[in-house]
Structure formats: C-alpha cells, structure tokens
Amino acid sequence: MLPLIIAPNKILRTVVKSIQLPVTNDIKKLAVEMSETMFYYHGIGLAGPQVNRDARIIVITTADGVSTYLNPEIIKTSWRQVDMEEGCLSIPGVFGQVRRPRRVLASFYTLTGEHRKEWLDNMLARVYQHEVDHLNGILFTDKAWRINQGQDLLAKYGLV
C-alpha cells in the first residue's frame, strides 16, 4: 500500500509526466500498489499524483475488476452533461456537485503496452474524467458548482 497524498500538497496541482513505453515491471508494480491503496481507502479511482507519483497512470474499479490506464486522454466528449455528487480521497470529507459529459472517447495504453480508444459511459466516464483531471493538476472542487458537504474544510485543504 502507498501513502495517500492529501490537499494542499503541490503534486495535486502538477501536470504529471507521461509514462515511457514499453511498460516496465516498475509500472506494473505501481498499478498493483495503487489498486491496493484505492481499495484500502474505499475509493473507486486513483491517480498517480494521489500517491506522490509524477506519472500519468490511473486505476479505476469497474464491473470486471480494476482497470489500469496509462497516459490516458480524453479525445471527444458527448454533448449531454450530467450533474452528480463527487468526492475525492485526497480531499476527505468534502463532496460537491460536478457537471461532466456522460460519455467520453478515451485514448490510453494498457499494462501490456497496447494502445486503445474506447467510448466510456456513465459512471466509468465520470471517474475516468475525474482521474484524468488529477493528472492535469485539477481537483473536483475546481469544477464543483456547489459544495454539498465539507464547506468548512476547504480552507484547511487550501481550496479557497
């Protein structure tokens, strides 16, 4: 398990570096450790900066288990937007309403080094967007149009 980074740590505001291919054993090990950390903290997604790694890697819990996305990008988004409450392991106790596209065309590499483009829908699309934001130094509180819970914690986390 890896230590979880909590705001206002500066790495959470950093655009992190791409992972060099081919995929190394260190990156595969990092993916496993990130998954274990995500489960330990009862999360559904986790990005490299949240475990103090300057690396474009995210892990997300899916119906089929855990998916790892290397150098993930969003190529296209649907016009339909959906509002939903979001939280973040790196901002404990804060939850807010965020509007995001319902579908995204994702471009990424797998742990085997295969490049893929896939349309992601609904919750998977939301979590993917949230985690890609982390790789670009963006927190959900930057996009929230209302904080539902934890308004009093925003100053503690350096988010006001």
Give kind and range of the element (H or E) at residue 31: helix 25-40
Q: Which of 36, 85, 114, 131 is catalytic?
A: 131
Bridge partners, residue 70, by sequence: 57, 109
Distance CA 44, CA 129 (A): 13
Distant-in-sequence, close-in-space partners of 45: CB < 8 Å, separation ≥ 6: 38, 58, 59, 60, 61, 127, 128, 130, 131
Cβ-contact 132, 72 below 8 angstroms: yes
Q: For this structure, is 131 an active site residue?
A: yes
Q: What is the DSSP string of 37-71?
A: HHHHTT-SEEEGGGGT--S-EEEEEETTEEEEEEE
Task: Give me the active site residues, please.
Answer: 131
